[in-house]
A = this chain, B = another copy of it.
């Protein structure tokens, strides 16, 4: 497996050149587009790695899974999905249009920015400080690493270039879809997006979801079975933004991407995978990362769809 991963990274590295690093957040624009890495965690409780598997990057949209899991566990599915839909959309992740057009003004799903903001606003914490502390604690559990921290330069960079998300948040509050202090909420959102990980942590998270919520090493239950399933189903239909359908065709595994270049994938019952490659396609998904997942899925006969 180790060897396979190294070979896959070598083969796919060239594909990265068709993409570009995220340009709208200056800190992300500094990334090296040739980087590519992968980690795999199997039921034998062994991590296999290839390429830049240990290079740190920020979770970005992948962090939406953490706060969504936290919200469902704390508040229950019904409460959460009364405020946010469950269905995929063809609109880009930061779109505001459908919110104005369709009533009720409910974000289409929790994995687009509007949905993630509503999810964060539902978390029952008294201020941003306790809220991000709770998110970090949950991130530590679900990523198998208690030392998860916010990457300050990225957080600062996001905060400085956040007009679109700020617009989304104020819109949501203007239509009653979101309550509370917007700046405080955005602060949590940018910190959450800026949590630093490597592919290893993503592989751990993928394996927790693959095992219906069980810690792959300790056997402890970290999430209710139903929560893990909701997350996998949303990943399968909405996990790669408006490119989710094509990913399902090419790879066929539930996954969630972030514009930091990471993708987490969960092969139910079998495997957790984390990939990293900061060169993105036009929809915000890692070009090299998707290529690695496609080949890994094909050779390992991993597809579930």
Using a CB–CB distance below 8 Å, which chain A residues touch chain B? 85-91, 95-98, 100-102, 108-109, 163-164, 166-171, 173-174, 182, 229-230, 232-234, 236-238, 242-246, 248-249, 252, 254, 268, 303-305
With A87-B246, A163-B171 in contact, do A305 and B303 touch (Cβ < 8 Å)? no
CA distance A166 to B305 in the complex (A): 33
With A90-B91, A174-B164 in contact, do A109 and B233 touch (Cβ < 8 Å)? no
CA distance A167 to B173 in the complex (A): 9
Closest 4 CB pairs of A and B: A87-B245, A163-B174, A167-B170, A88-B88
28 A-B contacts (beta carbon < 8 Å) = A85-B245, A85-B246, A86-B245, A87-B88, A87-B246, A88-B238, A88-B244, A88-B245, A89-B89, A90-B98, A90-B102, A90-B108, A96-B96, A96-B100, A163-B174, A164-B174, A166-B166, A166-B167, A166-B170, A229-B249, A232-B252, A233-B248, A233-B249, A233-B305, A234-B248, A234-B249, A268-B305, A304-B304
CA distance A252 to B166 in the complex (A): 34
A252 CB contacts on chain B under 8 angstroms: 229, 232-233
- A237 adjacent to B248 (CB under 8 Å): yes
CA distance A6 to B95 in the complex (A): 46
The residue among A108, A234, A248, A303 with the most chain B CB atoms within 10 A of its own CB is: A248
A237 partner, pick from B166, B168, B237, beta carbons under 8 A: B237
CA distance A90 to B88 in the complex (A): 6
- B229 adjacent to A109 (CB under 8 Å): no
A23 to chain B, nearest CB (A): 13
A163 partner, pick from B85, B87, B109, B170, beta carbons under 8 A: B170
CA distance A252 to B266 in the complex (A): 14
